[in-house]
Amino acid sequence: MDAPTGPERAFRVTDFRIEQWRAWAPGLDSTADWCAWHQAPVRLDDQGQQPDVGFLPAMQRRRLSRLARMAFHVAWPLADAHGPMPMVFASRHGETPRTLAILEDLGRGEPLSPTQFSLSVHNAIIGLWSIQRGDHSEMTALAAEGDGLEHAVLEACGLLAEGAPAVLLVIAEERPPALYQPFIDDVPFSYAVALLLTPGRDWTLQLASASGPRSEWPHALNLVRALCSDQPHLQHHWKKRQWTWSRNGA
Amino acid sequence: MSDLQLEIKHLIIEALGLEDMAAEDIAADLTLFGEGLGLDSVDALELGLAIQKRFGIKIDAEAKDTRKHFANVASLAAFVSSQQTA
């Protein structure tokens, strides 16, 4: 049943400041890479490339999946510069290659890999993050829909409102294995984005009940595009939710 | 170094994802768990599974000697040989 239509009030969800950001996708790493992509955004060729996590010793890298490496690669330098802080990790699809590997073993009646199994939960990446950084701050793993970015911002701003001086938000998606591709249409290529959020009023996020066209790129990549430019507004629709990002005083 | 020891070293590197390590880095008498190589309990399960699959032998996780067999590459090779000929 459709929700009632008509003009709806927009709720001011939260205000915050994006202190720093980093993003990675196959072939794109530096801010300059992303800003060049922003000028001419194209679907990147995802050949399974992995970002560098050479800042970790080999013994610590061995359990990091591609998705974990992406998350660590974007988040690590921000955490290094800032010290311990809560993290909100969001991924709609999580580690689809690992899930498939486990299911294939099950299907063949073979014993499951203890390593694969122990890392198959959605919060495994934040668990590894906490262990490897020695950071005991509150950490949350979310699996929301196409507007997982906005739900993660809401969660992060809740932590800021409780007094955290900064929150690290990481959103990461991996191109799924071929078997799942017909069912997953919102990951044009693998990407990870890290935002260092602090209290402030640089940005306002509003939520209204309204429908609209799906954005061409995943929300986190649209945000990166806005951060590469002076774009003052972003509007994202998912189902009946209309999220409006506004840059204040720009 | 026996061929079996070398095969076990390669199996450890492959099964446990030890990037940047070569068989030469793992001495036959290097302690595998805790000290030495620094493997942990999840590695123990993973390595046990890999050895059972590769060599077609059974390992009883409860048996009191199992810990001794997994002490280092030399003891593992001796254990695998004894199981294969048994």
State the Cα torsion A183-A189-A190-A195 to the nearest 10°: -110
Give how far A109 is from chain B: nearest CA, Å.
13
Q: Do B45 and A62 touch (CB under 8 A)?
A: no
A25 found inside a domain: yes
A153 found inside a domain: yes
Closest-CA residue of A relative to B21 is: A58
Average pLDDT, chain B: 92
Q: Which two tokens stand for residue A231?
A: 């774009």
A96 found inside a domain: yes
Task: Write the pLDDT tens digit of every residue in A175-184.
Answer: 999 999 999 9
Task: Write the pLDDT tens digit of every residue in B22-46.
Answer: 999 999 999 999 989 999 999 999 9
Q: How many domains does chain B have?
A: 1
Q: Which of A58, A111, A113 sits opposite B20 (nearest CB)?
A: A58
A12 found inside a domain: no
- CATH assignment at residue B30: 1.10.1200.10
Mutate to test the interface with A, among B12, B45, B51, B53 (most CBs of A within 10 A): B45
A209 found inside a domain: no
By CB atoms closer than 10 A (0-12, 13-18, 19+), residue B60 is exposed
Tell me what pLDDT residue B1 has. 62
Chain B residues closer than 8 Å to A115 by CB? 16-17, 42-43, 45-46
| pLDDT at residue A230 is higher than 90 | no
Q: To the nearest whole percent, how much of chain A has pLDDT over 70?
A: 96
Q: Are A22 and A77 in contact (CB under 8 A)?
A: yes
Q: How many CB pairs under 8 A join A and B?
A: 26
Q: Which two tokens stand for residue A203?
A: 């940005």
Q: Which of A58, A59, A114 sits opposite B46 (nearest CB)?
A: A114
Give how far A108 is from chain B: nearest CA, Å.
14
Domain range for A145 is 17-201
A38 found inside a domain: yes
Q: How many domains does chain A have?
A: 1
Residues 6 or more apart whose CB falls under 8 angstroms from that of A207 comprise A10, A11, A13, A150, A241, A242, A243, A244
A156 found inside a domain: yes
Q: Do B46 and A61 touch (CB under 8 A)?
A: no
Mutate to test the interface with B, among A55, A62, A105 (most CBs of B within 10 A): A62
B61 — pLDDT class (breaks 50, 70, 90): confident
- CATH assignment at residue A32: 3.40.47.10
Tell me what pLDDT residue A34 has. 97
Domain range for B67 is 3-85
B84 — pLDDT class (breaks 50, 70, 90): confident
Amino acid, single-letter form, for residue A97: P
Task: Write the pLDDT tens digit of every residue in A39-53.
Answer: 999 999 999 999 999
Q: State the Cα–Cα distance between residues B53 and A154, nearest whole angstrom.
A: 47
A215 found inside a domain: no
